[in-house]
């Protein structure tokens, strides 16, 4: 609660129902219908390594700052699983997103794909232009079968979370 003095009289500011800065929980959907480039595929020690797939994706959310079309640079390594479905792969994914224009976002992400093709990824998007000072921390899930992406996360003013270093085995 903020106390102000106006002409020597105390005035109490009203507490806002919205958090300071307009931070918001975002929900929405996305699609990635266009593959601009299939990237390159190699096999190393039984691991399928795919690099620099370029996709065009579109989001529709409850916050207009996160709606629109963007470009994804996608990479993944797929490993043959022994369980639950032998001879099917599980993949580790990572990449970047760029929302074009003077008021957009840049993002990094990591995620996994299970043997059925369902994917889960975590994104950290940092705003620029009119979105400067904003961060969107997002978790996406999508099914290879439907192609629909369900997304949710926190849009907040501040710094992105720091990268967490791996612990040293010697410290255990």
How does pLDDT run across 145-169, given as a tens digit for each residue?
A: 777 899 999 999 999 999 888 888 8
Higher per-residue confidence, 105 vs 81: 105
Inside any domain, residue 25: no
User: Is residue 12 in a domain?
Assistant: no
Residue 170 lies in a domain: no
Residue 21 lies in a domain: no
Domain count, the chain: 1
User: Would you say residue 131 lies in a domain?
Assistant: yes
Provide the residue range defining the domain that includes 131: 32-38+53-73+90-159
Its pTM stands at: 0.81
Spell out the SS3 assignment of 126-141.
EECHHHCCEEEEEEEE
d(Cα 160, Cα 123) in Å, to the nearest integer?
11
Residue 132 placed within a domain: yes
Q: pLDDT tens digits for 103-133?
A: 999 999 999 998 888 899 999 999 999 999 9
- Cα(129)–Cα(100) distance, integer angstroms: 11
């Amino acid at each position: 609660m903020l106390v102000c003095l106006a002409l020597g009289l105390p005035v109490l500011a009203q507490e806002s129902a919205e958090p300071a800065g307009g931070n918001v929980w975002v929900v929405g959907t996305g699609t990635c219908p266009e593959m601009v480039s299939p990237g390159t595929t190699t096999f190393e020690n039984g691991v399928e390594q795919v690099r620099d797939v370029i996709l065009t994706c579109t989001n529709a959310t409850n916050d207009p700052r996160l709606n629109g079309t963007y470009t994804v640079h996608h990479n993944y390594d797929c490993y043959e699983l022994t369980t639950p479905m032998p001879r099917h792969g599980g993949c580790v994914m990572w990449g970047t997103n760029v929302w074009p224009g003077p008021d957009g976002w840049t993002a990094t992400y990591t995620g996994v794909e299970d043997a059925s093709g369902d994917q889960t990824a975590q994104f950290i998007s940092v705003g620029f232009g009119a979105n400067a000072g904003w961060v969107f921390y997002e978790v996406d899930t999508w099914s290879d079968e439907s192609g629909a992406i369900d997304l949710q996360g926190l849009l907040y003013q501040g710094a992105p979370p720091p990268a967490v270093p791996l612990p040293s085995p010697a410290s255990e």
